[in-house]
Chains A and B, each alone.
Chain A
Amino acid sequence: MTAVWEILRDNWLLLLIGQYPNGPLGGIACTLILSVLGIVLAFPVSVLLALARLSPWRLLSWPATALVYVARGVPLLMVILWVYFLVPLLIGRNVSGFVTMLCTLVLYEGAYLAEVVRAGIEALPKGQMEAARALGHSHLGAMRLVILPQALFNMLPSMLSQFVSTIKETTLGYVINVPELTFAANQINNQLLTKPFQVFFILAVIYYVVCWSLTRAATALERRIEARRAGTRGVKAEGAPAVPMQPVAAEP
């Protein structure tokens, strides 16, 4: 146990921010920035993908469906390697591991979140869309003003748990030299050589603490949303006038 404290004492800065400012920003900071950017950029992608998937136009729905199926049907590591080797060929210059990893996460998480968004939209009662269309809103107008605000709110907990998955997925950035937390831990292990269990114990604990707190946050959020729905539904017609004859008789 003392070895663990010693490793932490000597290397906490490396675990926290990597070799910054002498090198790229790394460690937990890199992991969190990568995850946050990944999920934030994946979110609009996922909404567009979900809308395309639900679109009556096959020109939109088929490619979106294909993309979602492929992204969900292959391992993340494989997507990372594809992006790593293919993107430099396509754009003719090298990109950093960070950017490669970010692009991969946006693509991959976008596909997963798209299914969450689609489920959220389809879970709403059909009457919501009908009412909006009957009032003269266009399909996209109804989506923007009526459907998405409700669906996205209902999906907040799923999104937060998707964020937790994303954090865990950033570990794979290690294979393409993204200086995130796992990479930093491996650097420490390579220096010490004799204490792999202690080093990777620390790594596991850090991931656990971060992910566990976020999972707790997701659960709390879910409870609050449920309580809000149940609470408001419970309040029924306090002191409402039964028949509003007077105001009704007013002129138009």
Chain B
Amino acid sequence: MITFSNVNKWYGDYRALTDINAEVGKGEVVVVCGPSGSGKSTLIRTVNRLEEIKSGQLLVDGHDIHAPMSSAQLNRLRSRIGFVFQSFNLFPHLSALDNVMLSPMHVNGVKRAEARDKAMQLLERVGLAAKALAYPAQLSGGQQQRVAIARALAMEPPAMLFDEPTSALDPEMVGEVLAVMRSLAAEGMTMMCVTHEMNFAREVADRVWFMDAGCILESAAPESFFRHPQHPRAQRFLSDLRSH
């Protein structure tokens, strides 16, 4: 579903991604972990071209995302990739319902009534039907992030990307967001998640990618990654996590 072939990215002289070769299969859940500054967010943001790459190829659902194309084509491709941000980025001038309805109506040309029904279903699914008319500022962080997930799902993407979806949340709200993500995974959604929630990785992920200094150092099933990390950097990372 998502295939990286020799992807490289530079910020000036700084090499942010080095020869990334990896694949997220259809229906697979991949958790990307690693120390901060290791390139996890950069990696996930190249998948819908929020970040440009220097060389290599990135296929999503068979489309070469970084090929030269018109902005209309790129917009169409982006609309088919769900993206959830660390800082939610809900539109604060719109109610939760309008946040979810906006893009189906204006990007896909769905009729208002239809978009509304769909948005209500999605809000119901993330447990927020009762908050449909609330504005983002009236919602807790966890609720906002669940609306953001519903908003991304409204475009019916075949794959969802999560960029540290729980890092900006108070601890007691992490669970509600992870619960939504778990149910998505159980339904067979293709997911790529940058997260520090190692329990989530252990329970839900099909594979864990460990990144450091712009490279994927290890790609393994979670049980073997957590029990027997191969790379010394991964071993150090995991023992640092356990030590506190």
Q: Mark A212-223, 1 if CB is under 8 A from B, else 0.
A: 000000000000
Q: CB within 8 A of A232: which of B79, B108, B137?
A: B137
Pairwise interchain contact A236-B179, C-beta atoms closer than 8 A: no
Pairwise interchain contact A236-B78, C-beta atoms closer than 8 A: no
Pairwise interchain contact A243-B175, C-beta atoms closer than 8 A: yes
**Residues of chain A with a CB closer than 8 A to B91's CB:** 128, 131-132, 146, 150
Closest chain-A Cβ to B85's Cβ sits at a distance in Å of 6
Q: Which parts of B132-152 form the interface with A (CB within 8 Å)?
A: 135, 137-140, 142-143, 146, 148, 151-152
Pairwise interchain contact B78-A244, C-beta atoms closer than 8 A: no
Does B52 sit within 8 A of A, measured CB to CB?
no
Does A137 sit within 8 A of B, measured CB to CB?
yes
Contacts A229-B137, A244-B126 given; indicate if A135 touches B103 (C-beta within 8 A). Answer: yes
Q: Mark A232-243, 1 if CB is under 8 A from B, else 0.
A: 110111001111
Does B176 sit within 8 A of A, measured CB to CB?
yes
Does A145 sit within 8 A of B, measured CB to CB?
yes
Query: What is the interface of chain A mostly: helix, strand, loop, or mixed?
Result: helix
C-alpha gap A141/B128 in the complex (Å) = 27
C-alpha gap A141/B176 in the complex (Å) = 32
Q: CB within 8 A of A135: which of B127, B140, B146, B155?
A: B155
Q: CB within 8 A of B107: which of A136, A153, A250?
A: A136
Pairwise interchain contact B103-A248, C-beta atoms closer than 8 A: no
Does A139 sit within 8 A of B, measured CB to CB?
yes
Does A224 sit within 8 A of B, measured CB to CB?
no
Q: Mark B93-126, 1 if CB is under 8 A from A, else 0.
A: 1000000001100111000000000000000111
Contacts A139-B71, A242-B175, A249-B183 given; indicate if A145 touches B50 (C-beta within 8 A). Answer: no
Task: State how many residues of chain A have any CB contact under 8 Å with chain B.
Answer: 38
C-alpha gap A247/B132 in the complex (Å) = 14
Pairwise interchain contact B92-A133, C-beta atoms closer than 8 A: no
Does B89 sit within 8 A of A, measured CB to CB?
yes
Q: Which parts of A97-122 form the interface with B (CB within 8 Å)?
A: none
Does B180 sit within 8 A of A, measured CB to CB?
yes
Max chain A C-beta neighbours (<10 A), residue from B106, B172, B175:
B106
Pairwise interchain contact A138-B75, C-beta atoms closer than 8 A: yes
C-alpha gap A249/B131 in the complex (Å) = 18
Does A21 sit within 8 A of B, measured CB to CB?
no
C-alpha gap A246/B138 in the complex (Å) = 23
Q: Which parts of B148-182 form the interface with A (CB within 8 Å)?
A: 148, 151-152, 155, 172-173, 175-176, 179-180, 182
Closest chain-A Cβ to B2's Cβ sits at a distance in Å of 15
Pairwise interchain contact B107-A137, C-beta atoms closer than 8 A: yes
**Residues of chain B with a CB closer than 8 A to A251's CB:** 187
C-alpha gap A136/B110 in the complex (Å) = 14
**Residues of chain A with a CB closer than 8 A to B87's CB:** 125, 127
Pairwise interchain contact B93-A236, C-beta atoms closer than 8 A: no
Max chain B C-beta neighbours (<10 A), residue from A132, A139, A242, A247:
A247
Does B83 sit within 8 A of A, measured CB to CB?
yes
**Residues of chain B with a CB closer than 8 A to A245's CB:** 179
**Residues of chain B with a CB closer than 8 A to A235's CB:** 137-138
Does B236 sit within 8 A of A, measured CB to CB?
no
Pairwise interchain contact A232-B138, C-beta atoms closer than 8 A: yes
C-alpha gap A237/B170 in the complex (Å) = 12
Does B72 sit within 8 A of A, measured CB to CB?
yes
C-alpha gap A112/B182 in the complex (Å) = 51
Max chain B C-beta neighbours (<10 A), residue from A145, A150, A153, A248:
A248
Does B238 sit within 8 A of A, measured CB to CB?
no
Pairwise interchain contact B126-A248, C-beta atoms closer than 8 A: yes
Pairwise interchain contact A248-B50, C-beta atoms closer than 8 A: no
Does A134 sit within 8 A of B, measured CB to CB?
yes
Q: CB within 8 A of B140: which of A127, A150, A236?
A: A236
- 14 interchain pairs, CB-CB under 8 A: A128-B89, A135-B102, A136-B155, A137-B107, A139-B71, A149-B93, A150-B93, A153-B93, A229-B137, A237-B139, A240-B131, A242-B172, A248-B179, A248-B182
Known: A145-B106, A242-B175. 15 other contacts (CB 8 A): A127-B89, A134-B78, A134-B85, A135-B102, A136-B79, A136-B107, A137-B106, A240-B139, A243-B175, A244-B146, A245-B179, A246-B127, A248-B127, A251-B187, A252-B187
Residues of A within 8 A of B (CB): 125, 127-128, 130-139, 141, 145-146, 149-150, 153, 229, 232-233, 235-237, 240-252
Closest 5 CB pairs of A and B: A244-B127, A136-B79, A237-B140, A131-B89, A232-B137
